Amino acid sequence: MLIPLGELAQHLDLLPSFDTPIIAYCGSGWRATIAMTTLWALGWKDVKVMKGGSYTGWVGEGYPTVEGLPPQPAALEEAAIVVYCGSGHRSTIAMSILRSHGYTDVRSLKGGLGGWQSEGYPVVEFAMP
């Protein structure tokens, strides 16, 4: 997935799950190091930077490259998915993970269950069938 550093925050939904390895690269390695640090702070722990001049070094050594963009994942499900948590923070992360796995119509409940309840919407207590 090609995401410029300046657009990384706007495209977290395109990233794979937190346990999927990511290799960051750029022309020299400087921006890739910033991207790696940012992704670590956001929860991705298996992020590495291409060393030795990053992409420029790779090409300079004569390693193969392929032009073009990778194919987009097919939608896995057509029904809308709404995820929620207590405040809306973890559900936003869950939404991003689901989108990274190809689900397209995923939403996070704004404000979480706490926000839902403060607006006076009904909540059903846990019940066994």
pLDDT tens track for 3-15: 888 888 888 888 8
Q: Which of 17-21, 69-73, 93-97, 122-126 has the highest mean pLDDT?
A: 17-21
Q: Where residue 76 falls among pLDDT bands split at 50, 70, 90?
A: very low
* pTM exceeds 0.95 for this model: no
Residue 56 near residue 80 (C-beta atoms within 8 A): no
Name the nearest CA neighbour of 15 among 42, 37, 52, 53.
42
Q: Can you give the residue ranges of every domain in the chain? A: 5-60, 71-129
CATH entry 1.10.10.10 includes domain 71-129 = no
Q: What is the DSSP string of the chain?
A: ----GGGGGGGGGGS--TTS-EEE--SSSHHHHHHHHHHHHHT---EEE--SSHHHHHHHTT-----SPPPPPPPS--S-EEE--SSSHHHHHHHHHHHHTT--SEEE-TTHHHHHHHTT---PPP---
